[in-house]
Structure 1
């Protein structure tokens, strides 16, 4: 654990605070991992690792500064190379960065969304006491695992099986609400259940890109306002998952798209620099993209698909694989011309001196989300 804390200190840029160091030593990470975990291998394919059969590999993963997948396929299927991660233990560096950002003091009450294996809840309980920590987990198997892990290590925070997007009103208001899963929209229950002056800390993702910690301060009028810390990647909250799988779910045989051209290179907006995509995500709101290789289509090496999250409008932009390309074929269908929206968002980004995540913020009210640049006065509704 000491070696891992040294690595975490390097990530933070300073020593781990004494209170969190003591918590980590009292609740070692390996005690909160299941005997079977999944690790990323070649091409990000998951490979299982069993503690009984590969103890050295298992313990190395437990004390590496990397996330560890603790469940795949929502627990319904536990084998196969195509398993989809559904629960994980976050990289320790992110765990302790988020604990630090919460700025906790003795006596504060915390609501955690996403219990997982219980490790983060144990750290919070060690710092604040069991009575001041409530944690919610939607997966029943993970709830039982967390409760078992916490009890075995001498902790007894309130562990609730339920939908974390609803919060937990019984012990509200909380001083802090922290999510260990990412969200595309902040459930207003989290804002409403946090006292004035309190903090909501949540990993953010847009349909366009995943990444960014959002720290909101709750005002007297019930508005949460804050800025981003651009470093995180978490699993999306299950109740906000998108069921569409471009392109087959949006481009139907009966669609008759319009054809045009664009001077905007599709690579300039999709799979471009994180800063670019982060900005576009806040301008485009409900748009997302996927690449599709087209080896059987003449003069098309790659096709970029862009669509609304409801699948009602879509666009496809063709790239022929050459560096000399100056124009790209565009196909669009639906009530919205979504590629035109992408072009406008990219131009806005250029016109505003290519802003990065540190210039963006978000305000959350009962009516919705307002994204803004530099100051809340420079805002627009986030779709």
Structure 2
């Protein structure tokens, strides 16, 4: 067996094993299984990827087995760091990735694409998702918008080589692409904090918008909307997804650089709400907090070098005008020192949001929904008539 034959055999085994695991989750219908074989992921992942917490480069030519394993493991794979700039000795951070196959096929299942549907994808990335969509919707029916012109050009070349028939546009995904509208389906492969109005205008009544969701509090959840005859859209959330935020919505805030100043004179109080209760492993409460506190984010400060303080939770607004610090002394489980500054008392808002969540039987993402109109968007619980109070 030649090297090429051995490599092809290894890939067939990898695809088979991956599909076998995914089919157990119930999201790989026959048409998507055929698409997975016709549009192999390896044809769309670049020859250099970045692995591990330190995002160390892995080159296909140097370590082909490691590269192939990264391509077909059921996990995301980082394909670009630092927006394509050389980080040198600085910090490395992921700026583009190939999503985990499980979430890819779950979203394709939720999107309910049929042959002949016109599909708009926001966030081309590697181009693999656009290739899968084209395989089912049909050649010429998929338009994909990518904000990074280099990534757009690379994905366009891959799709052309595989003759997968998607149109790739370099542009701002928040604006959609009017030239090929209207669409039957719109899917985003980046998360948003609000649904861009152009998306609604470009999707047919009865059409579906599917997008990952993020709040400054947590990146979590999927939103599936149905567009109505009047141009509004209504839909529900579901759990278990985390995507990079749309570039136009990014914020880069640091507590001591952007928010807290030496001349601030905070008000001091106490609280009985443990700060880890709203920032810990319970993603349901974090999701609910994010929906209610739309412009509030948090970060932990371990060992802050303050006498009597073991850990400190900071919460702040995205406009950097209000903040709160919640201190734990390392011993007490029911009493925490709170310092707050700015026009809003953020920890009071956190306490109120947590109390609301408990009062309503601790709902998870699947009980929440969103209505989007030309004038704004509103969060609801269980049905569109039960609105949730949002602070921002």
Q: Does TM-score exceed 0.5, indicating one fold? A: yes
Counting matched residue pairs gives 377
Name the residue aligned to 2:159. Answer: 150
> Does structure 1 residue 13 correspond to structure 2 residue 26?
yes
Name the residue aligned to 2:44. Answer: 32
Q: CA deviation at 1:289?
A: 0.5
Q: CA deviation at 1:279?
A: 1.0
Cα contact 1:45–1:81 (8 A) shared by 2: no
Q: CA deviation at 1:305?
A: 0.5
> Does structure 1 residue 305 correspond to structure 2 residue 317?
no
Q: 2: CA distance between counterparts of 1:326 and 1:124?
A: 52
> Does structure 1 residue 379 correspond to structure 2 residue 387?
yes
Equivalent in 217, 228, 231 of residue 219 of structure 1: 228
Q: 1:362-377 alignment to 2 at 5 Å?
A: 362-377=370-385
- Give per-residue Cα distances to partners, 1:175-229, cap 9 Å, x unaligned: 0000000111111111111111110000001111111111001111111111112
Q: 2: CA distance between counterparts of 1:312 and 1:173?
A: 41
Cα contact 1:118–1:146 (8 A) shared by 2: yes
Cα contact 1:46–1:81 (8 A) shared by 2: no
TM-score (norm: length of structure 1): 0.95
Say which SS state the counterpart of residue 104 (structure 2) adopts.
helix
Equivalent in 284, 291, 294 of residue 300 of structure 2: 291
> Does structure 1 residue 342 correspond to structure 2 residue 350?
yes
Say which SS state the counterpart of residue 134 (structure 1) adopts.
strand
Say which SS state the counterpart of residue 231 (structure 2) adopts.
coil
* Coordinate RMSD, CA, aligned: 1.4
- Give per-residue Cα distances to partners, 1:53-103, cap 9 Å, x unaligned: 111100001111100000000001266583110000000111111111111
Equivalent in 221, 227, 243 of residue 252 of structure 2: 243
Name the residue aligned to 2:195. Answer: 186
> Does structure 1 residue 329 correspond to structure 2 residue 337?
yes
> Does structure 1 residue 48 correspond to structure 2 residue 57?
yes
TM-score (norm: length of structure 2): 0.93
Cα contact 2:292–2:389 (8 A) shared by 1: no
Q: 1:165 to 1:271 in 2, by over 3 A?
A: same
Cα contact 1:247–1:305 (8 A) shared by 2: no
Q: CA deviation at 1:381?
A: 5.9
Q: 1: CA distance between counterparts of 2:334 and 2:101?
A: 45
Q: CA deviation at 1:51?
A: 0.7
> Does structure 1 residue 22 correspond to structure 2 residue 22?
no
List alignment gaps of at least 5 residues for structure 1: none
Equivalent in 10, 17, 27 of residue 3 of structure 1: 17
Q: CA deviation at 1:130?
A: 2.6
